């Protein structure tokens, strides 16, 4: 002990301090282990409670994460208090730490606030197809800080809730039905009424098309090479894309089968044949231009 720089008196003081401190450490460890066990049981019970109740899945996940994190923070405070740290001092330390962390994690706090706003106002829910922040996809998960989307190509897009709650969001699923607009061009020589009748018959024969409001087709523009017909109808979210793709393909086939052409941009080039006399006059004109230019150059030289 003397080699370590400890006298007998110092060693006895250390043992006395350790003996006095050991019960607090032991009880803190017990509280920590028992607390984790209780939190685990509470979490399982909370999951079973949510499974029995018909709550919104987004709200369930948010509340689960919130209770889980809150209980663990409370457990840490109890353990620190058990080690002998006074509550007033702990509150001061936590306040100072909270201020420092808040300044350092402003973005994370904004994301947390954004998550609360999303859960409160519910602009979308899990399973909805949305477009936001330049990304479109199906909502897979809404957590405290981020929202996860599955894109059309099955990529996982993670968007911070802070940006998501403060920007435009297009929810394609919320209304249950969608309106489609398919533009088809026909040539100027084609019969417009016949084309409209063919397209309306095509869309009305499909079961997934909603008849109230009724489908319609109108002439929207008179382009450079085509008359544009706009076919408009309503369909449920489940039937929207199958009807859309089928209509485009079948419309081309039926219009062509009935002699109605779908034009594409064309350019006409006209070539004029010049007679020998016109060619001779053109050559004389060029020679005269050359002579005039030569005379001007000579006068400039003088």
> pLDDT for 97-142, tens place per residue?
665 555 545 567 788 788 888 877 888 888 899 999 899 999 998 8
- Check residue 230 and give its pLDDT: 95
| Predicted confidence band of residue 180 (pLDDT cuts 50, 70, 90) | very high
200-223 core/surface letters (b: 16 or more CB in 10 A; e: else): bebbeebeebeeeeebebeeeeee
| Mean pLDDT, all residues of the chain | 79
* In the predicted structure, residue 281 carries a pLDDT above the cut 60: no
The half-sphere exposure of 231 on its side-chain side, counting CA atoms within 13 A, is 22
List the CATH code of the domain at 177-257. 3.30.70.100
Query: Where do the domains of the chain lie?
Result: 8-104, 121-171, 177-257
Percent of the chain at pLDDT above 70? Answer: 70
CA 108 to centroid of chain Cα atoms: 19
Do 8-104 and 177-257 agree at the fold level?
no
pLDDT average, residue stretch 57-67? 73
Who wins on pLDDT, 109 or 300? 109
- Check residue 247 and give its pLDDT: 95
- Check residue 257 and give its pLDDT: 93
Name every residue whose Cβ is closer than 8 Å to that of residue 259 and which is 6 or more positions away in sequence: 190
pLDDT, tens only, 255-264 = 999 999 888 7
| Predicted confidence band of residue 291 (pLDDT cuts 50, 70, 90) | very low
**pTM exceeds 0.75 for this model:** no
Quick one: angle between helices 106-121 and 87-104, nearest 10?
A: 90
CATH topology for 121-171? SH3 type barrels. (2.30.30)
Q: Which of 85, 71, 70 is CA-nearest to residue 28?
A: 85
Cβ–Cβ < 8 Å for 39, 71: yes
Range among 71-80, 141-150, 261-270, 275-284 rated most confident = 141-150
* In the predicted structure, residue 274 carries a pLDDT above the cut 80: no
8-104 belongs to CATH 1.10.287.1260: yes
- Check residue 58 and give its pLDDT: 65
Paired tokens of 59: 């709200």
Only one residue has tokens 């993670």, namely 158
Percent of the chain at pLDDT above 90? Answer: 34
d(CA 262, CA 225): 10
| Predicted confidence band of residue 202 (pLDDT cuts 50, 70, 90) | very high
* In the predicted structure, residue 248 carries a pLDDT above the cut 80: yes
Name every residue whose Cβ is closer than 8 Å to that of residue 255 and which is 6 or more positions away in sequence: 184, 186, 195, 198, 199, 261, 262
């Amino acid at each position: 002990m003397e080699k370590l720089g400890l006298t007998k008196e110092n060693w006895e003081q250390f043992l006395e301090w350790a003996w006095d401190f050991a019960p607090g450490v032991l009880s803190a460890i017990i509280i920590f282990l028992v607390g984790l066990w209780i939190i685990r049981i509470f979490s399982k019970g909370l999951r079973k409670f949510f499974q029995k109740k018909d709550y919104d899945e987004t709200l369930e996940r948010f509340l689960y994460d919130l209770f889980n994190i809150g209980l663990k923070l409370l457990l840490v405070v109890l353990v620190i208090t058990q080690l002998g740290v006074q509550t007033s001092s702990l509150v001061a330390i936590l306040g100072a730490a909270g201020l420092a962390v808040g300044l350092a994690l402003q973005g994370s706090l904004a994301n947390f606030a954004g998550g609360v706003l999303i859960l409160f106002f519910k602009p979308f829910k899990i399973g909805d197809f949305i477009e936001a922040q330049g990304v479109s996809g199906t909502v897979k998960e809404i957590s405290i800080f981020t929202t996860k989307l599955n894109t059309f190509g099955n990529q996982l897009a993670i968007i911070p809730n802070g940006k998501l709650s403060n920007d435009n969001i297009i929810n394609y699923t919320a209304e249950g039905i969608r309106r489609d607009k398919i533009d088809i061009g026909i040539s100027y020589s084609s019969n417009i009424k016949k084309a409209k009748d063919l397209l309306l018959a095509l869309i009305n024969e499909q079961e997934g098309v909603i008849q109230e409001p009724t489908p319609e087709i109108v002439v929207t523009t008179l382009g450079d090479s085509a008359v544009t017909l706009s076919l408009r109808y309503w369909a449920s979210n489940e039937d929207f894309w199958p009807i859309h793709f089928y209509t485009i393909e079948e419309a081309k086939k039926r219009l062509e089968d009935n002699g109605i052409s779908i034009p594409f941009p064309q350019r006409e080039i006209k070539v004029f044949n010049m007679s020998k006399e016109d060619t001779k006059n053109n050559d004389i004109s060029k020679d005269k231009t050359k002579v005039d230019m030569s005379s001007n150059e000579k006068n400039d030289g003088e």
